[in-house]
Amino acid sequence: MNNHIELKNVCRAYINGAQSVTVLKDINLTIASGEIVAIVGASGSGKSTLMNILGCLDVPNSGDYFIAGQSVADLSPDELARIRREHIGFIFQRYHLMPDITALSNVEIPAIYANTKRSVRRLRAAQLLARLGLEGREHHNPGALSGGEQQRVSIARALINGGELILADEPTGALDSCSGEEVLQILTELNRQGHTVVIVTHDRKVAEYAHRVIELRDGRIIADNCCRAIEPSAGLSGLPEKLSDNEQEDWRSLWDRTRESLITASKALSAHRLRTVLTMAGIVFGIAAVVTVMALGQGAKQRTLDDIKKLGTNMVSIYSGGDYFDSSGKSRRPLTLSDLDVLASQSFVDSASPEILILQPVRFRAKSANAAIEGVGRDYFRVEGIALIEGSNFSDYDDALQEVIIDENTRNAIFHDDEGSLGQTILIGSVPAKVVGVARNNHNYSPNRLSLWMPYTTVMYRLLGQQNVNSIIIRLKDDTSSEAAANAITQLLTQRHGDKDFMLFNRDQIRRSIERTGKTLSLLILVIASISLFIGSLGVMNIMLISVSERTHEIGIRMAVGARRSDIMQQFMTEAILVCLAGGVLGIALSLAIAPLFSSMAGSTLTPIYSWKAAFLAFVCSTLIGTVFGYLPARKAARMDPVVSLASE
Ligand code: ADP
Ligand code: MG
């Protein structure tokens, strides 16, 4: 913008309800660079409207506006913002400073949007403030400054990016005459240094400073008087170097702007602490619910898996007989010891044991109890994963040895505490047997059951007097698919027996069906928890919308000094994401705090299991919520009309 600005037949009308009011009518105006022009006129004559058009805050309904020969009619909002940022400095009657940040930070804002390095812009802002007599006041908030001082801060802000064209809309209107005089002195001084200055004022004295006085009435120019000639200016030499030379790389400026919006966001959030906390509460409870449900679900799943593991999932049980309801009465081949040998020699079989169950009274001296006696092989304890806590396994099982292994329940039931059980002979039915080992209680059975194990040969020949086994229990090798193994066993036995006269029972099937049920259930609970999170998210959106309308004025100021739409967008998105992230962190913390409570309330040994995955998911979730639910309010903010937003206060 090196020579001048030019308005040609510019009209601006406002639609007020059904009727349209034309505020500027056919304005033709040229302002040369280096001029200082005063615009005067009664209130409502259209001065501010004209200034807004000159400053690219507003666009004419018809007519053309050229800046340095370029028409602004075709420019996008962001291109207009660029012109404001790089060439124009606004000075308003009511200063329009941001109240929550220091004078220095206020001055810096346009330079942030111009991608100026932090060190450069801070230095320059401090220099400008010092030049305007505000040394020592840089770190005061606007509220702590007098009106005249605030107006000087706003002049510094207008100059930070260069401010070739300074538009001052009644800059002295809110000031006492002394401060007003000072401001006018500064503006004429700036003009002498080469800035083009347009001042809207009531103050007739301004005419003394101005080259031209333009008078508006009812939206028309009714007078345009030259008072004095333009003196040759010293150029803009009084200013530090042009800031665009100090632009930084994109990623740096992005980080810079992100940091600024983080600072702004945290300030805005802490300015409304109660509201922030209430907004966050929705997210906190939502995230806590989801994380807790996931952790408890994981815990429940783990417990089920542990339980099932104790059951042994890689086990197959085989029973003789066609099926549970077989009543054909056909004679069948029972399972035999040679079936057992063949099965045990299969490559996928880890170990195999017969299992013959009978109920018998057991007795030691005066004490007796009813117990379940199982005839098993040496491998049985390995197959079932039962640990011996005392003594050892049977020495052999082929010879119907009269040895017995008892569980803890049995030991407690028939032995006194001071009697050692190992080596004692007890009576099982009428058969005496020596206790060779004590096994840990197996809680897969009912906890009070008394279990004893004897070599299957002993049970078959001495207790039952039969040659066959009722069932065989097989532990598969760990890497074997239980389904494939079950098929192979079925085939093998069918071939040996000539008929499928046995039942196969695969414990892996139970595990899978339990897991499926568990999955469905936790999915259901997760959906419910997610609904609460969703409602929390709506709360965020609601509060963000309120925040945007409350801060319309701030948005207007930022736009006036050259913020792009994306800058405004980023600012509000940052705020929304910040609230949600903080809510997410607190939600995880809350979940950690309440989960033990939950599991103790459930009166079980259910321990919640927290995984990094869940925490990470919660983070991603809350960021996503911030992004999705902050988007609408942020977009609303970014699309505001700068003139309308500036006017709201
Ligand atoms: P001045 O600054 O000279 O006092 P303005 O330019 O602010 O006058 O306003 C000129 C006229 O335009 C006034 O009558 C005002 O009511 C009207 N006006 C200004 N802005 C709007 C708007 N956004 N919508 C409707 N009318 C407006
Ligand atoms: Mg006005």
User: CATH number for the domain including 36?
Assistant: 3.40.50.300
Q: How far is the CA of 21 from the centre of ligand 1 (A)?
A: 9
323 lies in the same domain as 436 = yes
Question: Which ligand has its closest atom nearest to the C-alpha of 19?
Answer: 1
pLDDT attached to residue 239: 41
The pLDDT tens digits of the residues spanning 50-92 come to 999 999 999 999 999 998 888 988 899 999 999 999 999 999 9
pLDDT attached to residue 65: 94
> Hey, which of 19, 23, 93, 200 would you mutate to test ligand 1's pocket, going by the most ligand atoms within 8 Å of its Cβ?
23
Q: How far is the CA of 201 from the centre of ligand 2 (A)?
A: 9
Residues 182 and 55: their CA atoms lie apart, in Å, by 24
In a domain, 103, yes or no: yes
Q: How far is CA 461 from CA 358, 426, 636, in A?
A: 13, 18, 89
Residues 610 and 607: their CA atoms lie apart, in Å, by 10
501 lies in the same domain as 525 = no
Residue 460 has pLDDT above 60, yes or no: yes
The pLDDT tens digits of the residues spanning 301-326 come to 787 777 766 666 678 888 887 655 55
506, 525, 556: which is the final residue of a domain?
Answer: 506
Per the CB < 8 A criterion, the answer to whether 358 and 466 are in contact is: no
Q: Answer with the residue of higher pLDDT: 242 or 465.
A: 465
Q: Answer with the residue of higher pLDDT: 573 or 208.
A: 573
pLDDT attached to residue 478: 75
In a domain, 309, yes or no: no
219 lies in the same domain as 272 = no
Residues 644 and 576: their CA atoms lie apart, in Å, by 24
Residue 580 has pLDDT above 60, yes or no: yes
Residue 198 has pLDDT above 90, yes or no: yes
Question: Which atom, in ligand 1's list, is nearest to the CA of 50?
Answer: 6
Question: Which ligand has its closest atom nearest to the C-alpha of 641?
Answer: 1
451, 478, 506: which is the final residue of a domain?
Answer: 506
Question: Which atom, in ligand 1's list, is nearest to the CA of 46?
Answer: 6
Residue 217 has pLDDT above 90, yes or no: yes
Radius of gyration of the chain, Cα coordinates, nearest whole angstrom: 44
497 lies in the same domain as 572 = no
Least trusted range by pLDDT, from 288-302, 363-377, 404-418, 539-553: 288-302
> Hey, which of 11, 14, 199 would you mutate to test ligand 1's pocket, going by the most ligand atoms within 8 Å of its Cβ?
14
Closest C-alpha among 463, 442, 460, 462 to residue 451: 442
**What pTM value is reported for the model?**
0.71
Closest C-alpha among 399, 357, 394 to residue 379: 394
Which residues have CB under 8 Å from 283's CB, separation 6+?
533, 536, 537, 539, 540, 579, 580, 583, 584, 587, 622, 625
**What SS3 state is found at 614?**
helix
Residues facing 31 on adjacent strands? 5
Sort 59 into a burial class: Cβ within 10 Å, 0-12 / 13-18 / 19+: middle
pLDDT attached to residue 236: 47
71 lies in the same domain as 170 = yes
Q: Residue 5 — left, alpha, or beta (φ > 0 → left; ψ -120 to 50 → alpha)?
A: beta
In a domain, 294, yes or no: yes
Residues 52 and 71: their CA atoms lie apart, in Å, by 16
In a domain, 260, yes or no: no
441 lies in the same domain as 519 = no
Question: Which ligand has its closest atom nearest to the C-alpha of 169?
Answer: 2
Separation of first and last alpha carbons in the chain: 32
Residues facing 214 on adjacent strands? 39, 224
Q: Answer with the residue of higher pLDDT: 477 or 28.
A: 28
Specify the residue with its C-alpha closest to ligand 1, atom 2. 48
Residues 577 and 560: their CA atoms lie apart, in Å, by 26
The pLDDT tens digits of the residues spanning 339-395 come to 888 988 988 888 888 888 888 899 998 888 899 998 888 888 888 878 888 888 888
Q: How far is the CA of 589 from the centre of ligand 2 (A)?
A: 53
502 lies in the same domain as 631 = no
In a domain, 254, yes or no: no
pLDDT attached to residue 54: 95
How many degrees, rounded to 5, is the angle at CA 583 between CA 580 and CA 587?
Answer: 135
67 lies in the same domain as 171 = yes
Closest C-alpha among 356, 358, 344 to residue 316: 344
Sort 359 into a burial class: Cβ within 10 Å, 0-12 / 13-18 / 19+: exposed
Q: Answer with the residue of higher pLDDT: 542 or 614.
A: 542
DSSP labels for 390-446?
EE---S-STT---EEEEEHHHHHHHS-TTS--TT-EEEETTEEEEEEEEE---TTS-
- Scored b (16 or more CB within 10 A) or e, 511-523 reads beeeeeebeeebe
Residues 383 and 316: their CA atoms lie apart, in Å, by 10
Q: How far is the CA of 176 from the centre of ligand 1 (A)?
A: 25
Per the CB < 8 A criterion, the answer to whether 216 and 39 are in contact is: yes
DSSP class of 233: P
Q: Answer with the residue of higher pLDDT: 500 or 43.
A: 43
497 lies in the same domain as 524 = no
**What SS3 state is found at 219?**
coil
Sort 292 into a burial class: Cβ within 10 Å, 0-12 / 13-18 / 19+: buried
568 lies in the same domain as 419 = no
Residues whose beta carbon lies within 6 Å of some atom of ligand 1? 14, 16, 21, 23, 41, 43-49
275-284, 388-397, 516-525, 613-622, range with greatest mean pLDDT: 275-284
The pLDDT tens digits of the residues spanning 599-648 come to 677 655 677 888 888 888 888 888 898 899 999 999 999 999 999 999 88
In a domain, 253, yes or no: no
Domain holding 535, by residue range, is 265-304+513-646
The two beta strands, 212-217 and 36-41, are parallel
pLDDT attached to residue 404: 92
Instruction: At 100, list the tokens.
Output: 């929550």
32 lies in the same domain as 98 = yes
Which residues have CB under 8 Å from 13's CB, separation 6+?
20, 21, 22, 23, 61
pLDDT attached to residue 241: 43
Q: What's the structural domain count of the chain?
A: 3
DSSP class of 551: T
Q: How far is the CA of 204 from the centre of ligand 2 (A)?
A: 16
Task: Compute the residue count for the chain.
Answer: 649
pLDDT attached to residue 332: 60
Question: Which atom, in ligand 1's list, is nearest to the CA of 52?
Answer: 6
Instruction: At 87, list the tokens.
Output: 């060439």
Q: Please list the alpha-helical segments (H only) found in 249-396.
A: 250-271, 273-311, 337-344, 380-384
pLDDT attached to residue 250: 75
In a domain, 625, yes or no: yes
Q: How far is the CA of 111 from the centre of ligand 1 (A)?
A: 30
In a domain, 255, yes or no: no
pLDDT-derived band at 448, boundaries 50, 70, 90: confident
454 lies in the same domain as 559 = no
